[in-house]
Amino acid sequence: MAVSSMTGFARTEGAGQAAAWFWELRSVNGKGFDLRLRLPPGLESLEPKLRAMATQKFTRGTVHAALTMTRQQGALEVRLNEPVLQQVLQAARRAVEITGGTMPDTASLLALRGVLEIADLEAGNALAEHEGEDLLADFGRALDELQAARIGEGERLKVIVGEQVDEVERLTAQVEISPARSVEAIRTRVGDLVQRLLGTDQKFDPDRLHQEAVMIATRADVEEELKRLKAHVAAARELLADGGVIGRRFDFLAQEFQREANTLCSKSNDAAITEAGLALKVKIDQMREQVQNLE
C-alpha cells in the first residue's frame, strides 16, 4: 500500500449554465483531519456533502478548500408563470363577454406583471439547485488529484526515511562492533580507575571499590539498547513496507529510537561510542522531522 504525505495541492475547473468555477485545495500537516471550506454566499447547503466526501478520502491533515465562481454571460433565466397566465386569460375572457371587445394579444399578456419571472441563476440558492451536482463532482475530482499529490510526496518521503533507517542501522552496527565494548577494554578502564583511586592519599574500602567497579562495568554495557535499536529498525522497515496510514505509529517509533540513543550516550564512557551515539541522535531527529509529514 502506498504511503501518503499530508501536504499537497490540487485545482479543478468546471462550468455550467449559470457560472464557471474552480476548486483550489491545499493540504498541510495536522494531528487529525480538518476541512476548512470557503464557499460563495448561498452555497452553504453543499457543505455537509463536501465534508462527507473529504472525510472518506483522508484521515489526517488540514485541507483548505476554496470555491471561486464567475458569472456566465446571460445567466438570467426567464420563466413563464402559468398559474398567473391562466388567471389573466380567464379574466380577459370575462371582460370580452362583458364589453364585447377583443382578447389581448400574446405580447400584451406577457407584459403584465407576474406573467413572466426573471431568475438570476448566479444567486447562491439557484446555483446550488442548478449546478450543485457538477460542483460536487468537480470537488470529487479535486480530492482525487489532491490524494494523488499526497501519495506522490509520500512515496518520496518513504525513500528518504528508508535511507535514514539504513543509516541508523549502520551507526548501531558501528557501536556494536566497537573495540571499546570488549570485556578486555572495559576491564582495562575499570582497572585504570581503581589504580588512580588507590594511588591517592585517601583510604578506600575494598568492598566499596568492588561495587564501584561493578557499577562502571554495568553502565558501560549497552547491549540492551543495541538490541532495542535493531528491533526498532526492523519495525520501521515493516511499517514502510506495509504502507497506508503510518504517520502516528512511525512518530511513536521515532520517539523510541530517540530514547534508546539518549540512553546509549548517557552510558558511554568511550569517545568513539559517544560520537556514534550523537550521530544516531542527529539522524533520528532528522527522521522524525520527515515522519511528521506522513499521514
172 and 97 housed in the same domain:
no
Confirm whether 233 is domain-assigned. Answer: yes
What's the number of CA atoms in the CB half-sphere (13 Å) around residue 29?
9
Residues β-bridged to residue 33: 61
225 and 280 housed in the same domain:
yes
Mean pLDDT of 139-156: 96
Query: Which one is predicted more confidently, 34 or 125?
Result: 34
Nine cell digits for residue 4: 501518503
Over residues 175-227, the pLDDT tens digits come to 887 755 555 566 666 666 666 666 665 565 666 666 666 666 666 678 889 99
Residue 242 confidence (pLDDT): 92
Confirm whether 115 is domain-assigned. Answer: yes
Residue 90 confidence (pLDDT): 87
Contact 236, 3 (CB under 8 A): no
Dihedrals phi, psi of 186, to nearest 5 degrees: -65, -40
187 and 236 housed in the same domain:
yes
**In 3D, which of 33, 27, 34, 29 has the Cα closest to residue 10?**
27
C-alpha to C-alpha distance for 132 and 3, rounded to whole angstroms: 33
Confirm whether 57 is domain-assigned. Answer: yes
Kindly report the CATH number assigned to the domain that includes residue 211.
Answer: 1.20.140
Report the relative pairing of strands 33-38 and 61-71 from DSSP bridges: parallel
Nine cell digits for residue 244: 497506508
87 and 145 housed in the same domain:
no
- The angle that helices 206-220 and 183-198 make with each other, rounded to 10 degrees, is 150
- Residue type for 86, please? Q
Confirm whether 235 is domain-assigned. Answer: yes
26 and 116 housed in the same domain:
no
245 and 141 housed in the same domain:
no
pTM for this prediction: 0.69
Q: Which domain holds residue 32?
A: 8-73+123-151
**Cβ neighbours of residue 274 under 8 Å, at least 6 residues apart?**
265, 268
Sign of CA dihedral 185, 187, 188, 190: positive
What average pLDDT does the structure give for the chain?
A: 84
Nine cell digits for residue 12: 479543478
C-alpha to C-alpha distance for 257 and 4, rounded to whole angstroms: 22
Confirm whether 14 is domain-assigned. Answer: yes
Query: Which one is predicted more confidently, 58 or 268?
Result: 58
Confirm whether 278 is domain-assigned. Answer: yes
Kindly report the CATH number assigned to the domain that includes residue 53.
Answer: 3.30.230
The pLDDT confidence band at residue 16, using thresholds 50, 70 and 90, is confident
Report percent pLDDT > 90 for the chain.
47
Residue 11 confidence (pLDDT): 96
96 and 174 housed in the same domain:
no
Report percent pLDDT > 70 for the chain.
78
136 and 239 housed in the same domain:
no
Q: Kindly report the number of other CB atoms within 10 A of residue 221's CB atom.
A: 12
Over residues 105-128, the pLDDT tens digits come to 888 877 787 777 655 545 555 555
Asked whether residue 278 carries a pLDDT value surpassing 50, the answer given is yes
129 and 240 housed in the same domain:
no
Mean pLDDT of 98-110: 83
Domain tally, the chain: 3
147 and 239 housed in the same domain:
no
Confirm whether 3 is domain-assigned. Answer: no
Grouping H, G, I as helix, E, B as strand and the rest as coil, residue 140 is helix
Residue 121 confidence (pLDDT): 47
173 and 255 housed in the same domain:
yes
C-alpha to C-alpha distance for 261 and 56, rounded to whole angstroms: 39
The string of DSSP letters for 174-214 reads HHHT-GGGSHHHHHHHHHHHHHHHHTSSS---HHHHHHHHH
Residue 84 confidence (pLDDT): 84
Q: How far is CA 47 from CA 12, 28, 36, 141, 254, in A?
A: 18, 20, 10, 16, 38
Q: Picking from 92-96, 139-143, 245-249, which range would have the lowest pLDDT averaged per residue?
A: 92-96
Residue 148 confidence (pLDDT): 96
The pLDDT confidence band at residue 132, using thresholds 50, 70 and 90, is confident
Residue 133 confidence (pLDDT): 86
Contact 253, 235 (CB under 8 A): yes
Confirm whether 2 is domain-assigned. Answer: no
Over residues 48-86, the pLDDT tens digits come to 999 999 999 999 999 999 999 887 655 556 678 888 888
132 and 221 housed in the same domain:
no
C-alpha to C-alpha distance for 274 and 254, rounded to whole angstroms: 20
